[in-house]
Structures are given as C-alpha cells and as structure tokens.
Chain A
Amino acid sequence: AQSVAQPEDQVNVAEGNPLTVKCTYSVSGNPYLFWYVQYPNRGLQFLLKYITGDNLVKGSYGFEAEFNKSQTSFHLKKPSALVSDSALYFCAVRASQGGNNRKLIWGLGTSLAVNP
C-alpha cells in the first residue's frame, strides 16, 4: 500500500538557521513526490516536485528537496529560515504506475515554526 510519513508533527528553528522537514514514502515503482505549504485558513500551495532526473530539486521561496531512493525519503530543506516560512508543510506521493490512479497520497503535515 502507498503511504507517506512525516515523522515530526512540529519543527522549531531560529530565523536564519537551516531547516529540514522530513518525509519518507512507500510506493510501488517509481514515485512522483511533491511538497506543498499551507498557511492558516488557506489552500495548499505547490512548492516543488520530484519526477525524474537530479535528486536535488529546487522550488519556490528558496526551498529545495532531496530525493533519496535508498532511504525512500524526500526531505524538504532551506538554507536560511524566515519567520514568514512558518506554516504547515505537506509531503505527497503518487505512484508512476497504476493506470488511471491520479490520487495523491498525503502525509499528515508538519508544522514549522520559525522563531525570530
């Protein structure tokens, strides 16, 4: 069965420090991996995705994520956190196989708090 795990409910970092939000996945075949961010009372905004190619993908707002096939991980990173990065972050996966199945499987989210 496909699944996504975000092992940390909350991550706290000081402004200016690097941040990492962890994500691991389980899927048959090659994964398509996505990160989204959600601000309070708002919809989800797409940050970045991994489809194929370079394991390090760069996205919006200075975020990047590294795909690690052996560890089945896709951790979200940013070299220097901003207070405005404080939000809820969701990792999602879709299997590249499976016919018409377009569903994304979502993690439960990680709340990021960046302290000034």
Chain B
Amino acid sequence: DTGVSQDPRHKITKRGQNVTFRCDPISEHNRLYWYRQTLGQGPEFLTYFQNEAQLEKSRLLSDRFSAERPKGSFSTLEIQRTEQGDSAMYLCASSEDSINTEAFFGQGTRLTVV
C-alpha cells in the first residue's frame, strides 16, 4: 500500500447522469476526507469519515451528493443528476486519527459534465 488511490482518474458524463467515484485510503488510516477543487482554487471540504462514521458534511454538499464508507476502508462518492457546475477535480485524502498529522491525498478524479 503506497498511498491513496482514486478511481477513475477521469470521468466525462452527460448532464443528468449519475456518477460514482471510489477512494482507497492508506490502510492504517482511520480518517478519510473528500474535497472538491476547481481551477485556480484551493480544495473545498466536502465531507469526512472516521472509520465508517460520516462525522461532518459541508453545506456545499447538496442532496445530490452522497458519500459512504461502509466497512471503514474504501469510500465512494456519488453524484446524482449531474450538472455542469459539478465539473471539478474530486480529491480524496486520508490521515491517522490525530489532529496534528498530515493528510495524504490521492491523484484525484477529474469530472467533466457535458
């Protein structure tokens, strides 16, 4: 296990379709985070998990977005009825369960909604 992996790396979808992204964190990390990043901006926090529990969800995350981490290992982020404004890089990160540890990021999934 060399790092956080995300799948797919790129996704092009038509407006209105549903998409699902997967994140596999570093295996010993309890914390898992999802961020969204648009061009020229820093990462925007979406949600995070401690093990399988979703502890916080940003107000940015509309009802069309849902994230799960059913067994406390990998996580999925689903976007229903995609809109063009959903086009962004979706980043996953994981960390140990300590407030002063750094998060390790995956390569991201770039979503383009056409």
Contact = CB atoms under 8 A, between A and B. Distances in A.
Contact of A42 (B41, B93, B100, B107): B107
A94 B99 contact: yes
A45 B103 CA distance: 9
Interface of A is mostly: loop
B56 A32 contact: no
Interface residues of B, number: 25
B99 A42 contact: no
B48 A103 contact: yes
A44 B91 contact: yes
Given A44-B91, A103-B56, A108 B102 contact: no
Interface string B72-114: 0000000000000000000101010001101111111010000
Interface residues of A, number: 24
A45 B93 CA distance: 10
Interface of B: 4, 6, 31, 33, 40-43, 45, 48, 55-56, 91, 93, 95, 99-100, 102-108, 110
